Structure 1
Amino acid sequence: MSDHHAPQYVDSGLPQPYHLVRPSPWPIVTAFVAGLMMIGAAMAMHDVKLGEWPVGQHTFVLGLLGVLAGMFLWWRDIVHESVVEKVHNKITETGLRYGMALFIASEVMFFSAFFWAYWDTALFPKDAIGNIWPPANIQTFDPFDVPFIMTIILLLSGTTVTWAHHAAQQGDNKEIVKALTATCSLGLLFTLFQVYEYSHAHFGLKDGIYGATFFMATGFHGLHVIIGNIFLFVCLLRARKNHFTADRHFGLEAAAWYWHFVDVVWIFLFVSIYWYGAGGGH
């Protein structure tokens, strides 16, 4: 009988044609700290304090650290199941593929909300902002200055992560290490440029609808770049341990899917917010 249909005995003692994961605390723990992070972000935006203590900012940081810890611990268990216990088969991989695809679909809906908020005001400016877009009191970024450099960096990282994926299809872990080193370096460079851009902004999150949509959309995209870079860095560490083969490399493939999604979102952000938002559509 092929491995695809071979029954595997799991903790329940019942034969199954696929791997059933053991009870894990990480899904509910990660969901809890992710909620804590979002509550902290909302509190920070409203300057919620206890006396002089910026409780919102600290709650956000605590939640973010919890999410990062949950990611590492959850991935650690999944990698152990695949590499050490070898309980992942083709059916398991199919389930992981569906899960990743649905996760990215949920992220599309997440960013759609920001684009909807932006375009609703950009196409139909309200009286409160003088019926013009961008608002007269906003000094926008030159789209062909730092934002254009950031676009080139992210597009280059898309080519290097594709290089890593092709190397994985050949089972060449040394080539994967080279490609992911380049990708992670470019991702870090993008983040540094975004920090530089934010530090030179002439408007803030509270400066009306333009500032709110700009920082919410680009800020959450920046957070996704950081998360994606961590995802790729984990794959880099795994490649150094020769975890990937020509037949078993979905962890890297999922990271590549996520990174390409981040690339596409940035292109929409560049055209919508940086180019059109700077008057490029007028």
Structure 2
Amino acid sequence: MIKQHEQSHYFVPDPSRWPIIGSLALFCLGLGAAFAVNSMAVGKLGLLAGFAILFWMLFGWFGDVIRESLAGRYHGWEDHSFRWGMGWFIFSEVMFFAAFFGALFYVRTISVPELGNDLHKLLYPDFTPSWPLVTGPGMTAHYEAMEAWGLPAVNTLILLSSGATLTWAHWGLLAGKRRQLATGLGITVLLGASFLSLQMYEYAHAMREMGLSLASGAYGMTFFMLTGFHGLHVFLGAIMLSVMWLRVQRGHFSAEHHFAFEAAAWYWHFVDVVWLILFVFVYWL
């Protein structure tokens, strides 16, 4: 009877100050960005204040949720809502990357061949419709395309390994093996940091040695947009897993109640899958 009552009960939190604080953070970020693009000194201060308020809001709001969870206020319906919320969030991320992969597909299979037909040769007689593009209308600087079988292949192995260590950590949680859980999480975070370090080195090499930048035509634009946004997601995922590791050190999570860990794991596995697609269509093909 008690369990049935818990399933039918939905926890309603007290009024929170965090939404209005989040709105203030976004206002400062928008205003600061507007001032910054117009080369006004106050713009940097606005951006700094906006990010500081945003981090404060995230830390405080998630802290309230963690405390409510540890107090036993969440039951069946709350867990159901959290899972649906995380599922829709990841779906929005899928659509985000789908837009960029769609742009890459359009450029490679439609735009470039179209520019190379007989009619368009009247406009660009020296244009060669091949991918990756190394020359183009109005482009004077030569650049090289990034090879797949170097650092990108190493990073692929690193991310695949991180997915395996995270799954191993999850198995430890389900089996009540706290040391395995903490070790697997720690290794996963270190692998994520290694991925980001190698990607930063790859970017520096591409810009200095290969002449590749965002201004390097359609190839440079799609390459840096896709890999850059993916790197940002790896960074966010590593932060999420680091928080999970800290919570594990404090004795949080059990085999029955650990959705926060699962949510971070879903996100990390999503990042892994995106990288595999990215490696095939951006680096390899």
Bin of the TM-score, shorter chain as denominator length: 0.7 to 0.9
- Could you tell me whether the CA contact under 8 Å between 1:171 and 1:245 is conserved in 2? yes
- Could you tell me whether the CA contact under 8 Å between 1:167 and 1:173 is conserved in 2? yes
Shift of 1:75: 1.9
Instruction: Report the TM-score when normalising by structure 2.
Output: 0.81
2:88 to 99, 102, 106: 102
Aligned to 2:10: 18
Tell me the secondary structure at the aligned position of residue 139 of structure 1: coil
* Structure of greater Rg: 2
Tell me the secondary structure at the aligned position of residue 37 of structure 2: coil
Aligned to 2:69: 82
Change (3 A) 1:63 1:270: farther
Aligned to 2:234: 225
**Residue segments in structure 2 that go unaligned for 5+ positions in a row:** 116-123, 136-142
RMSD: 2.8
Q: Is residue 169 of structure 1 aligned with residue 178 of structure 2?
A: no
**How many residue pairs get matched?**
262
Aligned residue identity for 2:76? K
Aligned to 2:274: 265
**Residue segments in structure 1 that go unaligned for 5+ positions in a row:** 8-15, 277-282
Q: Is residue 143 of structure 1 aligned with residue 125 of structure 2?
A: no
Aligned residue identity for 1:162? T
Aligned residue identity for 2:99? A
Change (3 A) 1:142 1:58: farther
Aligned to 2:249: 240
Aligned residue identity for 1:75? F
Tell me the secondary structure at the aligned position of residue 3 of structure 1: helix
Aligned to 1:132: 130
Change (3 A) 1:196 1:211: same
Aligned residue identity for 1:73? G
- Could you tell me whether the CA contact under 8 Å between 1:48 and 1:54 is conserved in 2? no
- Could you tell me whether the CA contact under 8 Å between 2:6 and 2:75 is conserved in 1? no
Q: Between 17-26 and 103-112, report the one with greater CA deviation.
A: 17-26
2:37 to 9, 25, 48: 48
Once the two structures are superposed, residues 110-130 of structure 1 have per-residue CA deviations (whole angstroms, 9 ceiling, x without a partner) of 110100011110112153764
Distance, in Å, in 2 between the alignment partners of 1:38 and 1:154 is 34
